[in-house]
Amino acid sequence: MSRSQAAKADARTGAALDVERIRADFPVLSRRVHGQPLAYLDNAATSQKPQSVIATLDRYYSEYNANIHRGVHTLSEEATAAFEDARRRIAAFINAGDAKQIIFVRGTTEAINLVAQSWGRGRLRQGDEIVITGLEHHSNIVPWQMLCEQTGAKLRVMPITDAGEIDLDAGRKLIGPATRLVAVSHISNALGTINPVAEIVRLAKEHGALTLVDGAQAVPHLAVDVQALGCDFYAFSGHKLFGPTGIGVLYGRAALLEQMPPWQGGGDMIKVVSFERTVYNDLPYKFEAGTPHIAGGIGLGAAIDYVQQTGLDAIARHEQALLEYATAAALRIPGLRLIGTARHKASILSFVMDGIHPHDLGTILDHQGVAIRTGHHCAMPIMERFRIPATARASFAFYNTAAEVDRLMAGITAAQKVFT
């Protein structure tokens, strides 16, 4: 796509960003797939990385690779300083009160498992309830099912409407005196629904229940303020936020984290060890046993710098414009049915086609250089709710353009000709 074509396409969406300049920061976006320019529309699965993040990882490994916290030599001190500086920038990014509330984990999945095991296992018993919603990713379902098996607690699920929104009226009836924790996604990865998490947190608090927000899909798209939300835990993954894989964050309320036992034992999470007794380390290290993903933490800091320089408000405006443009175009295609039509949505377009399996559509689009995701998106209960086996899902980031949306729609129309 030429610069002028892109500018024209972005004018159609009313884009506020210099998308062509941004695209130049992401090396992979200039590659070709099957001889066609890549249109990467699978950002909800993982996002691409700007050169600044790639260079940060390269610099760490080429210039100051060392283990952290334990060394007195220069490289170790430099690595420790960079890692802890990243933690502080991440804390500021989500407005956590203190960097010690930022626990580095592998990703959202590990963050939720940490809470389930460290907070839940020793506390819950028969008669207690955990409330989730019908919109959750498997990683915000299965850890709670495991916890229920371990403790005798019960899992309850807020239903969702035909539009793919949480049915709050029904949800209100589920949250009560037996509720110990409400765990909800901020944005649904399968449908794009932006959930009313502040309201759900308020409801949970009225009944003395704790709240965990799965922010995996939210942090790349909207400004998150954990203190304004009032949640007890917030989890997200670096790789969906233009950072490295294998690194993520659990934010927790400090008083709560202080009370929770460590969930893994090993190096760095201790102050003193003898065969008789171990004294655990302070926050956040109490929850970070073993050598962490040092490059990943530093790289995530660089990714957050990039997002902040770009500006989350401008990102949200561009993505909303792209979503509106794509939704209108999709609705003009006969035989295409959108799955997920919530009033408040992030830039995710999930759909099914008459007579074409999503996997076949995905393969045809790949041959045109258009990368989308097909399948159940690790949210099988949502597929069951809509009585479908799978959807095709295009998910947009701030580096995507209206011209790429046009290519997606042209590819869908071409696939229809093959199959009908």
Residues annotated catalytic, as ranges: 378
Distance CA 347, CA 191 (A): 9
By CB under 6 A, name the one of 13, 43, 118, 185 that touches ligand PLP. Answer: 185
- What contacts 24+ positions apart, CB below 8 Å, involve 171-175? 171/131, 171/133, 171/200, 171/203, 172/203, 174/131, 175/131, 175/203, 175/204, 175/206, 175/207, 175/209
Closer residue to ligand PLP in complex, CB, 220/369 = 220
| Angle (nearest 5°) at CA 411 between 406 and 417 | 130
Helix (H/G/I), strand (E/B), else coil: 174? helix
Closer residue to ligand PLP in complex, CB, 368/391 = 391
Closer residue to ligand PLP in complex, CB, 25/214 = 214
Q: Which residue has the tokens 């229920």?
A: 148
55, two tokens = 């260079």
The reply on whether position 137 binds ligand PLP by CB under 6 A is yes
Amino acid of residue 391:
T
The reply on whether position 108 binds ligand PLP by CB under 6 A is yes
Do 167 and 161 meet the contact criterion of CB atoms below 8 Å apart?
A: yes
The reply on whether position 139 binds ligand PLP by CB under 6 A is yes
Positions in 284-323 near ligand PLP (CB under 6 A) = none
Distance CA 151, CA 377 (A): 29
Question: Total residues at the site for ligand PLP (CB under 6 A)?
Answer: 13
The reply on whether position 214 binds ligand PLP by CB under 6 A is yes
Q: Assign 3-class secondary structure to 367-398.
A: HCCEECEEECCCCHHHHHHCCCCCEEEEECCC
The reply on whether position 42 binds ligand PLP by CB under 6 A is no
Binding segment for ligand PLP among 107-115, 145-153, 261-269, 349-357 (CB under 6 A)? 107-115
The reply on whether position 107 binds ligand PLP by CB under 6 A is yes
Distance CA 413, CA 402 (A): 17
By CB under 6 A, name the one of 189, 195, 374, 400 that touches ligand PLP. Answer: 189
Binding segment for ligand PLP among 25-33, 102-110, 360-368, 400-408 (CB under 6 A)? 102-110
Closer residue to ligand PLP in complex, CB, 47/108 = 108
Closer residue to ligand PLP in complex, CB, 192/369 = 192
By CB under 6 A, name the one of 213, 216, 303, 409 that touches ligand PLP. Answer: 216
Binding mask 351-390 for ligand PLP (x = CB under 6 A): ---------------------------x------------
Positions in 252-291 near ligand PLP (CB under 6 A) = none
DSSP element (H, E) containing 283: none
Q: Assign 3-class secondary structure to 97-117.
A: CCHHHEEEECCHHHHHHHHHH
Q: Which residues lie near ligand PLP (CB under 6 A)?
A: 107-109, 137, 139-140, 185, 189, 214, 216-217, 237, 378
